[in-house]
Amino acid sequence: MLDKAFKEKLMAIVGQDNVLDSKENQVAFSYDATPGFQSLPDAVVFPGSTEDVQAIVKLCREMKTPTVPRGSGTNLSAGTCPVQGGIVLSFQRMDQILELDEENLTLTVQPGVVTQKICEYVEARGFFYPPDPSSMKISTIGGNIMENSGGLRGLKYGVTRDYVLGLTVVLANGDILHTGGKLAKDVAGYDLTRLMVGSEGTLGIVTEAILKLVPPPPSKMTMLSVYESMDDAAETVSAIIAAKIIPATLEFLDRATIEVVEDYAHVGLPTEAAAILLIEQDGDPEVVKRDIQQIADICRKHGARSVQTAQTAEEAQALLTARRTALSACARKRPTTILEDATVPRSKVADMVKAINRIAEKYQLTICTFGHAGDGNLHPTVLTDVRDQDEMARVEKAFQEIFATAIELGGTITGEHGVGAMKAPYLKWKIGDSGIRTMQAIKTALDPDNLLNPGKLFVPDHANSVGTGNPASAPTQTAERMMKK
Amino acid sequence: MSRVTTDAERNAIQQAFRQKLDEDELLNCMRCGFCLPACPTYIMTKQEAASPRGRIALMKGVYDGTIAYDDDIGRQLDLCLGCRACETACPSGVKYGHLLENARSAINENKRKTLKEKAIRKLTFKDLFPNQKRMRQVTGLVRLYQKSGLKKLAEATGAINILPETLRTMQSILPEIPDAKAMRERPVHLAPIFVDQPSAAETATTHANIATNEEAPINHNAENPVKRVAFFAGCLMDTMFLKTNEATLKLLQLSGCEIFIPPDQACCGALHGHSGEAAGARELAKRNIEAFEKLDCDTIVTNAGGCGAYLIDYAHLLADDPEWSERAARFSSCIKDLSEVLLECGFLEKYHLSLPNQVVTFQDSCHLRNVMQTATAPRRLLQAIDGITYRELREADVCCGSAGIYNLLHEDMATGLIDRKMGHVKNIMPHVIVTANPGCLLQMKFGIKRHGLESKMEAVHIADLLLKSVSGC
Ligand SMILES: Cc1cc2nc3c(=O)[nH]c(=O)nc-3n(C[C@H](O)[C@H](O)[C@H](O)COP(=O)(O)OP(=O)(O)OC[C@H]3O[C@@H](n4cnc5c(N)ncnc54)[C@H](O)[C@@H]3O)c2cc1C
Ligand code: SF4
Ligand code: SF4
C-alpha cells in the first residue's frame, strides 16, 4: 500500500483509476516469466503520455521511490520483478501506433503496442518489420527495445536494435530526450539510441519509438530437416553458414523439445528423431529455390534422415508457430522450467550442443535444448522442481558450467533475454571489471539515485542465478519483502 | 453481494487452498503470458489481475501464504468466465479449470454467506437442478407465463422493466416451452432408422414418432445398428430445449445409432462445480455414472458443450475417491459431442444435406472447444450443407459472455462481451448463427435482439439446423 499523500499525487497525474495498490494488483505485478523471482511493488501506475511519465519520474525522485517500467512481463531475466519494491509503470494505455511514414519507411509507436500487432499492421499495408521474438503474440515493443530482443528471423534480419531509428526517453532527472530520427544516417554525437536499446529500463523510460521498416520478401520456403543424431544437426548449422548461405530462419530443436511441442501443437513433428532443424529462406523466388536446394543438399550430406519442404503457407506457419511455443511447452514435463540463453559464435554451435549434453549428464539433469541455432543462440532449458533443494543446487552448478563454456568458446551469458536480476551475478564473467566499471559509470551519470529499475544488471556477486533458496538468493529476499508488506 | 471476509475465514480459506489446490499445477504455470490474448476478461479489461496468469498468481499467493485472501481476490476469481480458453492457449498444459474450481470450492466452503445468498444457493443447487421433476415444474411456470397472456401484459404495462436488462431481454427470447406431458414422457430406448427402407423414411419426418418408435414395427435392421450409444439428455435441454433434444435423437437414429436414454440420469453438476458446490457436483456425478455404466455403451452423446465438458471432468472430480475414480475415468472417456458421433457414423456419406441459399456461421461453445476439443466437427457438418455459404466469425473462439448464469451475475462484463461479438457478427451478416450449447444459444439470441437484428438473422442449435437440412426444407 502506498503512502496516502504520495498516492494522491500520483492520482493527480494519471487519474484515480490509473493508480492501483490493492493486494490483488500488487501480486499481479510482482512477477515476470522468470522462475523463482517474485516481489511486490508498492503500486502500479498506468501513464497515458510522455508528460505523465515525466511527472511520475520526477515525483518518484522526490520520494526516493524506485520505478520499474513494464511491458507485458514476458522477460526471462527477472527484468520487471520489482526486487526493491516501488512503482511499476505499466504501458498498457500507451498502446497506439502513431504514424506510418510510407515515404521514409518508418513506423512511430508508443511503447505498449504488442509486437504482433506491429507486424500485422505493417504487413497489411505492404511493409515488413522483421524482429519476431517467440513471445510476439504478447510482448510489447517497449520490452523488445529494452531487451534488444531477437527472434526466429534474426539470422538474416538482425535483432530489434537494427530496427530502432529513434526514441523518446524520459530520463531519471525528468528530462525528455529525443534520440535519432527518421534518418538513414546520423552521426551527430554519441549514438544514444543504441545506448538505450537493451538497457533494460535502467537508463531511461521509453515513451515513443521510431521503427525502421523494410519491403516484404516476395516469397519464402520453409523446410524441416530430421536427424538421428544431435551432433549431425548441429554440424549442419555450421556447414550452412560456412557455405555462405544466410537463411532467414535456422532453428534447432532436440528430441525432448520436439516431443513437448508436438504434444501441444500437433503439427506432425517426428517425435522419434534426435533433433530437427527448422529452416526458412525468403527473397526472390529463384534465389529462394536455389538456396533451399543447396541447404537440403548440405543437410543430407550431414546425415539428415529426411528433408521436407512445407507444401502450403499454412503448413509453414503452423511449424513456426509450434516452434514459438517451445519454451512454454517444456513446462509440461516438470513443475519448474529454467531456461538459459547462452550464445556462441555460429561456428561453435556443435561444440556447445555437445557441452550441454555432457553437462546435463554430469549433473543428472533433464535439459531440453532448442534455439536460434543460426545465431549461435541456444536455449538449454532445465526441467526441474524448485522444491527439490538437492536438484536445484545441481542446476545452479550446471548453469555456471554452461556459462563458463559459452564464454570459453568466445560466447556470452545472454544472447537476447538480458541480464536483469537473474544473471546480474554473471555479468562480470562476460565483460570483466573494466566492463562493469564502464557500465556502472554510465548508470551513475544518468541515474545517480539508482531509482530506475534498481537491482538489475549490477548486484553483489554472492547471489545466484536461479533462485535455489540460498540465503543470499533473490527468492529469499523476496520472501522477506513479502512478509514486510 | 456477499459479506466482507473475516480473519477467521481468511485463515480457513488459506488452509482449504492448501488442501484442495494442486501445487504441481500452480507451479506448472511458467508465467509466459501466452494465455493473455485468449482470455475474454483480459481482452475486455487489459488488467493483469483479470488474466489467467494473474489469477493463477493470486491463487498461488494465497496457497503459499505470501498474501492473505481478501475480497478483491474473491471478486477476481468470480469475474472469470470459466471458459477455459486459457487452457487451449497454454503450451504448458496448465489445467486452469481445475485450479479455479478447487479455489472456488475452498472459498465457498469457508466463507459465511448472507441469508439471501444461502437461500438462493439452496434453491438452485439443492432443490432445483438436481431434481428433474422440479426443473419441469419451473419450466412449466415459464410456459404458463408465456401462454397465459401474462407475458404480453408484463411487456405492455412496463411491469417488465423492474427486471435488469439482461433478465428482461432473456425472458423475451426464451424458446416456447413444451407442454408438461411432452417433458414428462421421454423415451428410454430408440432404434436406428435406415432411410433406404421407405417405411422408415416416412417415420423419419415427424417428431411425434420419435417417442413411439419403440413400439413401431421395426423393419430397419435394429439388431445391427451402426453404433450403440447412450444419450445424456441434460436438464435444460430436456425441458426448455426439448425440440432440440428430439432433433438430436432423430439425427442419431438417422445415422444408424441405437440409442439408450437412462431415465435415472441426473443434471451434470456443472452449475454446482463452477459455483464452488463441489459436494453437490460429486453426488450428481455418482448418480450419472451409475445410471450410464449399466448400459455398457462406449459412447455417451451430449448436445450441450457445457454439460459434455463437465461430464468429461468427472474423472478429475472423483479422482481422489478410490471407489469411484476408475468408474469416473471410464465414464469420462465415453463422452462425445453429437457432431463427432455423426461424423463417425458416416452421416455425411449417408445424406445429401441441403437448405435454401443462406449465409451461416458458427459460434463455438467454449467448453465444447476448450474442454471437449471439438471445433472442426461442427464446422465440417455445416460446410457440407448444399446451399449455405459458410463464413467464419472473427473471434468465434472467444466466449459470448453467457457462461452458465454468468450473464445474470456480471451483467457489465457479459454485455461487453456480447457487444464485441455482435460487432464481429455485423461484419459478416450471417442469416444463421449456429451454436452447440443452450447457454450460448440464448446469449446469441440476446445479442441479436439487443442489436435490433431480429429481422436479419436468427440463432439456432446445430441439431435443429442439421435435421432441417436432411429433409431439405
Ligand atoms: C515463451 C517465451 C518466448 C520468448 N522468446 C523470445 C525470443 O524468441 N527472443 C527474445 O529475444 N526474447 C524472447 N522472450 C523474452 C521476452 O519475451 C522478451 O524479452 C520481450 O521483449 C519482453 O517484452 P515485454 O513486453 O514482456 O517486456 P517486459 O518483460 O515487461 O520488460 C522487459 C524489460 O524492458 C523494460 N521495459 C519495458 N517497457 C519499457 C519502457 N517503455 N521503457 C523502459 N523500459 C521498459 C523492463 O523494465 C524490463 O527490463 C521470450 C519469452 C517467453 C516467455
Ligand atoms: S499460457 Fe499457461 S504457462 Fe503461460 S502464463 Fe498462461 S497459464 Fe501460465
Ligand atoms: S477461464 Fe476464460 S475468463 Fe477465466 S481466466 Fe481462463 S480464459 Fe480467462
Per-residue pLDDT of chain A (485 residues; tens, 9 = 90+): 688 999 999 999 999 999 999 999 999 999 999 998 999 999 999 999 999 999 999 999 999 999 999 999 999 999 999 999 999 999 999 999 999 999 999 999 999 999 999 999 999 999 999 999 999 999 999 999 999 999 999 999 999 999 999 999 999 999 999 999 998 888 889 999 999 999 999 999 999 999 999 999 999 999 999 999 989 999 999 899 999 999 999 999 999 899 999 999 999 999 999 999 999 999 999 999 999 999 999 999 999 999 999 999 999 999 999 999 999 999 888 989 999 898 999 889 889 999 999 999 999 999 999 999 999 999 999 999 999 999 999 999 999 999 999 999 999 999 999 999 999 999 999 999 999 999 999 999 999 999 999 999 997 644 444 443 333 333 333 333 443 33
- Find out whether B235 and B183 touch, Cβ atoms under 8 Å: no
User: Following CA atoms A320, A326, A329, A334 in sequence, which dihedral angle do they give, to the nearest 10 degrees?
Assistant: 170
Closest CA to A43 of A73, A3, A86: A86
A-B C-beta contacts closer than 8 Å? 104
Say how far apart CA B34 and CA B39 lie, in whole Å. 10
**Does residue B33 sit at the A interface (CB-CB below 8 Å)?**
yes
Residues 235-254 of B with CB under 8 A from A: none
A475 CA → ligand 2 middle, Å: 21
Task: Give yes or no for residue A91 CB within 6 A of ligand 1.
Answer: yes
- Find out whether A81 and A421 touch, Cβ atoms under 8 Å: yes
Nearest chain B residue to A112 by CA distance is B46
A140 CA → ligand 1 middle, Å: 7
Say how far apart CA B54 and CA B96 lie, in whole Å. 12
Strand pairing class (A87-90; A43-45)? parallel
Residue A104 parent element (H or E)? none
User: Hey, what's the cell of B15?
Assistant: 488452509
Strand pairing class (B354-362; B432-435)? parallel
> What is the C-alpha radius of gyration for chain A, rounded to an integer number of angstroms?
22
Say how far apart CA A245 and CA B467 lie, in whole Å. 58
Nearest chain B residue to A322 by CA distance is B91
Query: With an 8 Å Cβ cutoff, are A29 and B31 in contact?
Result: no
Say how far apart CA B323 and CA A165 lie, in whole Å. 67
Say how far apart CA A172 and CA A452 lie, in whole Å. 7
Residue with cell 439452496: B122
Q: What is the pLDDT of residue A346?
A: 87
DSSP assigned state of B49: G
Closest CA to A378 of A347, A417, A407, A340: A340
The beta strands (E) that lie in A91-181 are given as 97-101, 106-109, 164-171, 176-180
Domains in chain B (CATH in brackets) are 7-110 (1.10.1060.10), 115-177 (no CATH), 182-343 (no CATH), 351-471 (3.40.50)
Closest CA to B258 of B288, B286, B285, B221: B221
Contacts of A371 (CB under 8 A, 6+ apart): A251, A252, A377, A378, A379
> What is the C-alpha radius of gyration for chain B, rounded to an integer number of angstroms?
22
Say how far apart CA A93 and CA A49 lie, in whole Å. 9
Closest CA to B289 of B248, B320, B334, B258: B334
User: Measured between CB atoms, which of B61, B67, B91 is closest to A328?
Assistant: B91
**Does residue B394 sit at the A interface (CB-CB below 8 Å)?**
no
User: Hey, what's the cell of B263?
Assistant: 431415465
Query: With an 8 Å Cβ cutoff, are A137 and B57 in contact?
Result: no
Classify residue A203 as exposed, middle or buried by CB count within 10 Å of its CB (0-12, 13-18, 19+): buried
Say how far apart CA B175 and CA B460 lie, in whole Å. 11
Q: What is the pLDDT of residue B238?
A: 76
Closest CA to A279 of A260, A256, A298, A261: A298
Query: With an 8 Å Cβ cutoff, are A329 and B91 in contact?
Result: yes
Give the HSE-up count for residue A464: Cα atoms under 13 Å, Cβ half-sphere.
Answer: 21
Per-residue pLDDT of B28-87, as tens digits, reads 999 999 999 999 999 999 999 999 999 999 999 999 998 999 999 999 999 999 999 999
- Ligand 3 neighbours (beta carbon < 6 A): B 38-41, 52, 55, 80-86, 96
User: Measured between CB atoms, which of B34, B72, B91 is closest to A24?
Assistant: B72
Nearest CA to ligand 2 atom 3: B29
Helix (H, G, I), strand (E, B) or coil at B453: coil
Residues lower than pLDDT 50 in chain B: 1, 197-220, 473
Nearest chain A residue to B50 by CA distance is A28
Say how far apart CA B152 and CA B52 lie, in whole Å. 44
Task: Give yes or no for residue A261 CB within 6 A of ligand 1.
Answer: no
- Find out whether B342 and B381 touch, Cβ atoms under 8 Å: yes
Written as one string, the DSSP assignment of B66-91 is: SS---HHHHHHHHH-----HHHHH-T
Query: With an 8 Å Cβ cutoff, are B27 and A386 in contact?
Result: yes
Q: What is the pLDDT of residue B236?
A: 75
Residue B184 parent element (H or E)? helix B180-184
Q: How far is CA A314 from CA A135, A317, A321, in A?
A: 20, 5, 10
B151 CA → ligand 1 middle, Å: 57
Say how far apart CA A343 and CA A379 lie, in whole Å. 8
How far, in whole angstroms, is CA B448 from its chain's centroid? 20
- Find out whether B472 and B443 touch, Cβ atoms under 8 Å: no
User: Hey, what's the cell of A264?
Assistant: 501441444
Contacts of B53 (CB under 8 A, 6+ apart): B29, B31, B32, B33, B35, B36
Query: With an 8 Å Cβ cutoff, are A31 and B32 in contact?
Result: no
Which atom from ligand 3 is nearest to the alpha carbon of B366?
2
Sign (positive or negative) of CA dihedral A145, A146, A150, A155 = positive
ipTM of the complex: 0.91
Query: With an 8 Å Cβ cutoff, are B34 and A138 in contact?
Result: yes
Nearest chain A residue to B64 by CA distance is A479
A75 CA → ligand 2 middle, Å: 14
Residues 47-66 of B with CB under 8 A from A: 47-49, 51, 54, 57-58, 61, 66
| Helices vs strands, H then E, count in chain A | 16, 16
Q: What is the pLDDT of residue A184?
A: 85
Contacts 24+ apart (CB under 8 A), B140-145: B140/B177, B140/B180, B140/B183, B142/B174, B142/B177, B142/B240, B143/B176, B143/B177, B143/B178, B143/B179, B143/B180, B145/B171
Query: With an 8 Å Cβ cutoff, are A23 and B76 in contact?
Result: no
Residues 60-119 of B with CB under 8 A from A: 61, 66-68, 70, 72-73, 76, 90-94
Q: What is the pLDDT of residue B215?
A: 46
Among A328, A338, A370, A385, which would you mutate to test the B interface (most chain B Cβ atoms within 10 Å of its Cβ)?
A328
Closest CA to A101 of A181, A201, A18: A181
User: Measured between CB atoms, which of B28, B66, B90 is closest to A335?
Assistant: B28
Q: What is the pLDDT of residue B3?
A: 62
Task: Give yes or no for residue A328 CB within 6 A of ligand 2.
Answer: yes
DSSP assigned state of B322: T
- Find out whether B363 and B393 touch, Cβ atoms under 8 Å: yes
Say how far apart CA B354 and CA B86 lie, in whole Å. 36
Query: With an 8 Å Cβ cutoff, are A482 and B92 in contact?
Result: no
Query: With an 8 Å Cβ cutoff, are A327 and B30 in contact?
Result: yes
Give A330 to chain B, closest Cα distance, Å. Answer: 7
Task: Give yes or no for residue A453 CB within 6 A of ligand 1.
Answer: yes
A115 CA → ligand 1 middle, Å: 10
Query: With an 8 Å Cβ cutoff, are B30 and A33 in contact?
Result: yes
Among B31, B35, B80, which would you mutate to test the A interface (most chain A Cβ atoms within 10 Å of its Cβ)?
B31
**Does residue A118 sit at the B interface (CB-CB below 8 Å)?**
no
Helix (H, G, I), strand (E, B) or coil at B259: strand
- Find out whether B62 and B13 touch, Cβ atoms under 8 Å: yes
Say how far apart CA A264 and CA A328 lie, in whole Å. 10
**Does residue A92 sit at the B interface (CB-CB below 8 Å)?**
yes
Helix (H, G, I), strand (E, B) or coil at A26: helix
Q: What is the pLDDT of residue B447?
A: 94
Closest CA to A150 of A137, A138, A135: A135
Domains in chain A (CATH in brackets) are 4-90 (3.30.43.10), 97-212 (3.30.465.10), 217-323 (3.30.70.2190), 334-485 (3.30.70.2740)
Query: With an 8 Å Cβ cutoff, are A325 and B30 in contact?
Result: no
Strand pairing class (A106-109; A97-101)? antiparallel
Say how far apart CA A197 and CA A177 lie, in whole Å. 14
A147 CA → ligand 1 middle, Å: 6
Q: Which amino acid is at B327?
A: R
Q: What is the pLDDT of residue B181?
A: 75
B89 CA → ligand 3 middle, Å: 10
Residue with cell 502506498: A2
**Does residue A39 sit at the B interface (CB-CB below 8 Å)?**
no
Q: What is the pLDDT of residue B313?
A: 93
How far, in whole angstroms, is CA B400 from its chain's centroid? 12
B50 CA → ligand 3 middle, Å: 8
Classify residue B470 as exposed, middle or buried by CB count within 10 Å of its CB (0-12, 13-18, 19+): buried
DSSP assigned state of A248: S
